[in-house]
Amino acid sequence: MKASLLIGLVAGARSMTPLAMIAWLARAGELPNTGSLSRLLSRPSVFAGATALAAGELLGDKMRSAPDRIVIRGLAARIVSGGLAGAALARKGDEAPAALLGAVAAVGASYVTFATRCYFLERYGQRRSGVVEDALVLACAVWIANHSRRSRSAR
């Protein structure tokens, strides 16, 4: 369930990146659980939609009009994303607690990453702080995906 917790933390920073990463794993048939959630995420329309939304979020985050991640809509998106991604990374039978863990981690990380981003935004500006945050989020998501992939193949 470590991967579910970690992907929830990523969802706190970027709501769509975890779903896109999980959709990529599902599409490749590399999720630990091949249940209905995996089948849904591997559908071409879901895969393409999650990828497009994640890319749009990465671009949109640099705009001054981007809403704060801690507004209700932003938190709701992070809860759903962290929960779904957490469940998708769980072994069969552990989906519900993994979803809860991913959702709770997303909420906590939303506030921590918001405060951190505000700190760096004042010093380095919207774009620079956003690009660095994006790089960290993507690196973490890729690391979690690779870890999940290795964990699955080790079983």
Task: Map residue 91 onto helix, strand or coil.
Answer: coil
**3-state SS, residue 16:** coil
Q: Which of 12-16, 29-33, 54-58, 126-130 is predicted least confidently?
A: 29-33
| pTM of the entire predicted model | 0.91
Distance CA 80, CA 130 (A): 22
Q: Kindly report, residue by residue over 23-75, the tens digit of the pLDDT.
A: 999 999 999 888 899 999 999 999 999 999 999 999 998 888 888 999 999 99
